[in-house]
Amino acid sequence: MQVQRVVLSSRPGKNGAPVPENFRLEETTLSLDLKDGEVLVRTLFLSVDPYMRCRMNEDTGAEYLTPWQLSESVDGGGVGVVKSSRCSGFSEGDVVTSFNWPWQTHSAVKGNILQKVDPQLVDGHLSYFLGAVGMTGLTALLGMREKGHVTKGANQTMVVSGAAGACGSIAGQIGRLDGCVRVVGICGSEEKCRALVEDLGFSAAINYRRDDVPAKLRECCPDGVDVYFDNVGGAVSDTVIAQMNNSSHVILCGQISQYNKDVPYPPPLSEETQEALRSKNITRERFMVLNYMDKMEAALLQLSQWVKSGQIKVLETVVNGIENMGVAFCSMMNGGNVGKQIIKLSE
Ligand code: NDP
């Protein structure tokens, strides 16, 4: 059968911003003769994620990430439906997901990269398996639970950066559900600020591109900051950390503001910020969702319940067509998404 796939065409290079032209759409022929252990899947939705910027480099800078190879099919989070199977445990019609889904309209993949999922967990919104009831929701929930130290009744103020994105939008809502008295989001547009406050129940929002962040943060967090869910790093995080309370906690989720720079992860901090962390006894441990596989099943159930009951609202930005993978990835890296960036390939 003829299928379309996206390959890596070129690398952004040292300290380079990715562009859609780094990716190339190709037609290729897929053999329908499955080998033992293989499953033929039709792709429904694909995910683009910040960590993929590291996979575009020859050296990813992270021991757990392998580089994508030039002219080879790119892969990442995906969800789809089984067309045929020579792998026990999978049969036609099953809905499946994987962290290593090829950017391809149909694929023959090894069954051991697939997980079967129950569409009822997301009331049929299958793209949620890539976001709120998938990797980014898990990152928000497990990050909060493992590193946030949120305690009901403790009068805590939480700040989230990258707040209108996939992880940030869920983390802030979990902060509210877990009992923070104030949840303040920092993000890059007025539209996003409005969505955080009016749709997701954040207490306040700050536009880091327009507002005086230190002044507005002081105004929104009169009792200082107790928990900081950090998705972005850089100047925004330096400002938040400067206003954190003694013995408070940073959830070191990601540092997207530094991903186009050729620095190791986590990127180095300024002397001033290091001193603020030391002198105020602020915890800032690296968090990696993949280290908590044993907690994922229970966490997914919790996320599903919150989403189904409406206690957590899900925002998505959906782009149609495999030909737009590169555009969607670059748009997400530049803040074009509200909520999870999804690419829809087929019904
Ligand atoms: P998002 O949906 O949040 O999309 C990325 C967002 O980052 C953009 O929308 C943009 O929003 C913001 N951004 C881009 N450049 C900058 C910048 N220079 N300064 C501030 N904000 C910027 O992506 P995810 O939710 O998927 O990922 C969020 C973070 O979580 C990333 O750092 C990612 O690496 C990390 N992550 C970590 C995991 C872990 O296990 N630790 C797992 C998954 C994700 P805006 O308009 O606000 O600028």
Residues 118 and 145 in one domain: no
Tell me the percentage of the chain whose pLDDT exceeds 90. Answer: 96
**What is the average pLDDT across 279-307?**
97
Contact 228, 252 (CB under 8 A): no
Q: How far is the CA of 32 from the centre of ligand 1 (A)?
A: 38
Helix%, strand%, coil% for the chain, nearest 5: 35, 30, 40
CA of 158 to the centre of ligand 1 (A): 17
Ligand 1 pocket by Cβ (under 6 Å): 49-51, 136, 139, 162, 164-168, 187-189, 192, 231-232, 234, 236, 253-257, 287-289, 332-333, 335, 337, 341
* Nearest of 43, 40, 20 to residue 30 by alpha carbon: 40
Q: Are residues 40 and 124 in the same domain?
A: yes
In angstroms, the CA 122 to CA 109 distance is 24
190 vs 196: CA distance, rounded Å: 10
Same domain, 152 and 283: yes
| 260 is a domain residue | yes
177 C-alpha to ligand 1 centroid (Å)? 22
Query: pLDDT tens digits, residue range 109-150?
Result: 999 999 999 999 999 999 999 999 999 999 999 999 999 999
Q: Whose CA is nearest to atom 15 of ligand 1?
A: 257
The better pLDDT of the pair 63, 283 is held by 283
For 198-235, what is the HEC assignment?
A: HHCCCCEEEECCCCCHHHHHHHHCCCCEEEEEECCCHH
Contacts of residue 154, defined as CB under 8 A and 6 or more positions apart, other chains included, come to 179, 226
Question: Candidates 141, 232, 239, 261: which one to mutate for ligand 1, based on the most atoms within 8 Å of Cβ?
Answer: 232
Residues 176, 97: one domain? no
Q: Which residue has the tokens 């957590």?
A: 312
Answer whether residue 72 is part of any domain: yes
Q: Which helix (H) or strand (E) holds 302?
A: helix 296-309
Ligand 1 center to 232 CA (angstroms): 6
Q: Whose CA is nearest to atom 18 of ligand 1?
A: 257
Would you state the pLDDT for residue 115? 97
Ligand 1 pocket mutation, candidates 231, 259, 285, 290, criterion most atoms within 8 A of CB = 231
User: ipTM of this model?
Assistant: 0.99
Structure token pair of residue 328: 């969607």
The least confident of 49-53, 157-161, 262-266 is: 262-266
* Domain identity same for 117 and 65: yes
What was the pLDDT predicted at 145?
A: 98
The protein residue whose alpha carbon is closest to atom 1 in ligand 1 is 165
Question: Do residues 32 and 97 both lie within one domain?
Answer: yes
Domain count, the chain: 2
CA distance 179 to 33: 54
pLDDT of residue 158 exceeding 90, the answer is yes
Contact, 113 vs 253, CB < 8 A?
A: no
State the average pLDDT for the chain: 97
Q: Are residues 127 and 142 in the same domain?
A: no
Give the pLDDT of residue 206.
Answer: 99
**3-class DSSP state for residue 108?**
strand
* Distance separating alpha carbons of residues 150 and 190, to the nearest angstrom: 28
Using alpha carbons only, give the angle 66, 70, 75 rounded to the nearest 5 degrees.
50
The encoded tokens of residue 299 equal: 């966490």
Same domain for 279 and 247: yes
Arithmetic mean of pLDDT, 72-99: 97
pLDDT confidence tier of residue 64, bands split at 50, 70 and 90: confident
Q: Are 75 and 5 a contacting pair, CB within 8 Å? A: no
Q: Is residue 182 domain-resident?
A: yes
303 domain-assigned: no
Q: Look-up: residue for tokens 């408070």?
A: 248
Would you tell me how many other CB atoms lie within 10 Å of the CB of residue 291? Answer: 12
pLDDT surpasses 90 at 211:
yes
Does 20 map to a domain? yes
Q: What is the pLDDT of residue 317?
A: 98
277: domain CATH number is: 3.40.50.720
Structural domain including 242 reads 135-290
pLDDT at 264: 87
Q: Could you report the per-residue pLDDT of 220-275, keeping only the tens digit for each?
A: 999 999 999 999 999 999 999 999 999 999 999 999 999 999 888 899 999 999 99
Is there a domain that residue 297 lies in?
no
Question: Under DSSP, is residue 151 helix (H, G, I), strand (E, B) or coil?
Answer: coil
Which atom of ligand 1 lies nearest, measured to the CA of 334?
14
Q: Are 122 and 153 found together in one domain?
A: no
| pLDDT band, residue 62 (cuts 50/70/90) | confident
pLDDT > 90? residue 13: no
Say if residue 284 is in the same domain as residue 139: yes
Residues 161 and 127 in one domain: no
Residue nearest to atom 13 of ligand 1 (CA): 335
**296 assigned to some structural domain:** no
Where residue 336 sits, what CATH number does that domain have? Answer: 3.90.180.10
Atom of ligand 1 nearest to the CA of 163: 47
What confidence tens digit (pLDDT) does each residue in 16-33 have?
Answer: 999 999 999 999 999 999
Compute the distance from residue 50 Cα to the ligand 1 centre, in Å.
Answer: 6
Q: Is the pLDDT of residue 63 over 90?
A: no
Structure tokens at 113: 């990269």
Within 13 Å and on the Cβ side, how many CA atoms surround 98? 23
Residue from 136, 146, 160, 167 to probe ligand 1 pocket by mutation (most atoms less than 8 Å from CB): 167
Examine the domain organization and report whether 73 and 110 are in the same domain: yes
C-alpha span between 116 and 114 (Å, rounded):
7
Tens of pLDDT along 314-345? Answer: 999 999 999 999 999 999 999 999 999 999 99
Q: Establish if 142 belongs to a structural domain.
A: yes
Q: What is the pLDDT of residue 197?
A: 98
